[in-house]
């Protein structure tokens, strides 16, 4: 019988594998100095007893949005001000009630019991702020929150009831079009600034991976060539630092499983395939339902082909936007769901492209008029399989 002892021998590869976790925040965040300084400038009024502007932070997965925000939040708390900054992930706390209860349980005494309603926590928030204090809520993955209009309107209108103190909101989203779906009142009350985090380049990823490798691995375990290869793969695919870190971690695990003392290009290449499949599945699982259905339509048509799927040299594999919309509408009808408008559909395509799940180009003149062409970013068989399982087909 096996025992845990045989698995507890010292690693030949890792010094500290936690360093490769996307949740690890190093003291130095390369290539995000501009974003750090801008965020600090936005928050500094709170340290002076004044209300900061609301802020929306946008960018693809793995561009450092959460990492930078947490880094700045830590520095903010070190200032020892009466102002408080709280981080809440809206995937876990996805309703206005849960978000406000989470916040107030962190700030006020006597509110940790069950059974209180939203109005109770709202009043507690006002009571806390009326002492002249500023509350800043960081809502990560804000687009995953339900009743988002109610949440934004509730938080922003609180300032109308406060003589002193204030409530500010920092929303983090992968979707540049997040605001498009908001009620006009919510958009107006938000009155926010925006920051956009660009994807990392190959040379930037190389330095980030080198920094993490020095902390995560023992000396001389990984070559510069293997790090360069992981950086190049990531820049080519997405510029997603989280993807690069997972690739490096998986390559190290493969080397360790094989009893090797070094990580070679071979392990990096193999890790790339494994990690890409995992991250695509993770990204698809997080999508709102109608984005999943649009992606499903793209994957289905990519496999079956539409009569317009091949139409000119250099555009093989692209689909017409109208064909995809028709298939999306058919899927909705088949599943007993109401399809969204063409305007919403165009917004969904933008979101899918930002996540790297599809690529779009403009057709130019002469091809059924001027239209958008769509191409799936990953293997259609895997996407169709995931979607069939998701929707019980």
Domains of the chain, with CATH numbers? 33-197 (3.40.50.300), 201-285 (1.10.8.60), 287-390 (1.10.10.10)
CA-closest candidate to residue 350, choices 308, 309, 291:
291
Is the model's pTM score more than 0.85?
A: no
What's the pLDDT at 310? Answer: 44
pLDDT at 315: 52
Strands 192-197, 84-89: pairing is: unpaired
Q: What is the mean pLDDT of each run of 10 residues along the chain (393 residues)?
A: 70 94 94 98 96 94 95 97 96 92 88 80 94 96 89 90 93 86 85 92 96 96 95 89 95 94 95 85 85 94 68 62 94 94 90 84 64 86 87 78
Sign of CA pseudo-dihedral 299, 302, 303, 307: positive
Q: Are 241 and 200 in contact (CB under 8 A)?
A: yes
- Give pLDDT, residue 357: 87
Distance, in Å, from the CA atom of 60 to the CA atom of 335, rounded to the nearest integer, reads: 30
Burial class (CB within 10 angstroms; exposed 0-12, middle 13-18, buried 19+) of 87: middle
Looking at residue 174, its pLDDT comes to 86
Instruction: Round to whole Å and give the CA distance between 213 and 82.
Output: 38
Which pLDDT value is given to residue 183? 87
pLDDT of residue 309: 44
Note the residue count of the chain: 393
- Residue 92, helix vs strand vs coil: coil
317-328 residues labelled b (16+ CB within 10 A) or e (exposed): ebbbbebbbebb
Contact between 364 and 330 under an 8 Å Cβ cutoff? The reply is no
Nearest-CA neighbor of 168 among 200, 144, 191, 142?
Answer: 191
């Amino acid at each position: 019988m096996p025992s845990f002892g045989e698995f507890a021998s010292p690693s030949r590869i890792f010094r500290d594998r936690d360093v490769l976790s996307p949740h690890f925040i190093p003291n130095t965040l390369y290539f995000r100095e501009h974003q750090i300084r801008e965020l600090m400038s936005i928050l500094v009024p709170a340290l002076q007893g004044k209300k900061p502007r609301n802020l929306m932070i946008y960018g693809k997965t793995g561009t450092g949005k959460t990492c930078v925000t947490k880094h700045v939040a830590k520095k903010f708390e070190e200032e020892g001000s009466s102002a408080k900054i709280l981080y809440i992930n809206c995937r876990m706390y996805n309703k206005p009630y849960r978000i406000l209860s989470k916040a107030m349980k962190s700030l006020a005494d006597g509110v940790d019991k069950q059974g209180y309603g939203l109005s109770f926590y709202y009043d507690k928030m006002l009571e806390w702020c009326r002492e002249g204090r500023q509350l800043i809520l960081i809502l990560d993955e804000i687009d995953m929150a339900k009743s988002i209009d109610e949440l934004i309107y509730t938080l922003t209108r609180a300032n109308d009831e406060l003589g002193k103190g204030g409530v500010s909101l920092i929303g983090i989203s992968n979707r540049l079009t997040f605001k498009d779906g908001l009620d006009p009142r919510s958009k107006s009350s938000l009155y926010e600034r925006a920051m956009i985090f660009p994807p990392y380049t190959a040379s930037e990823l190389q330095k980030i991976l080198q920094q993490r490798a020095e902390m995560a691995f023992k000396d001389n375990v990984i070559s510069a060539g293997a790090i360069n290869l992981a950086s190049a793969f990531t820049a080519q695919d997405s510029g997603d630092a989280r993807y690069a870190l997972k690739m490096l971690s998986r390559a190290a695990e493969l080397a360790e499983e094989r009893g090797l003392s070094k990580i070679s290009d071979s392990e990096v290449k193999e890790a790339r395939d494994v990690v890409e499949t995992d991250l695509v599945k993770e990204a698809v699982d997080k999508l709102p339902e109608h984005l999943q259905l649009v992606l499903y339509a793209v994957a289905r048509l990519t496999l079956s082909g539409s009569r317009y799927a091949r139409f000119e040299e250099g555009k093989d594999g692209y689909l017409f936007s109208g064909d995809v919309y028709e298939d999306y509408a058919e899927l909705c009808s088949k599943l007993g769901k109401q399809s969204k408008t063409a305007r919403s559909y165009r917004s969904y395509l933008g979101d899918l492209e930002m996540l790297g799940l599809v690529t779009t180009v403009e057709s130019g003149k002469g091809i059924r008029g001027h239209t958008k062409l769509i191409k799936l970013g990953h293997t259609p068989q895997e996407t169709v399989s995931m979607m069939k399982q998701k929707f019980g087909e």
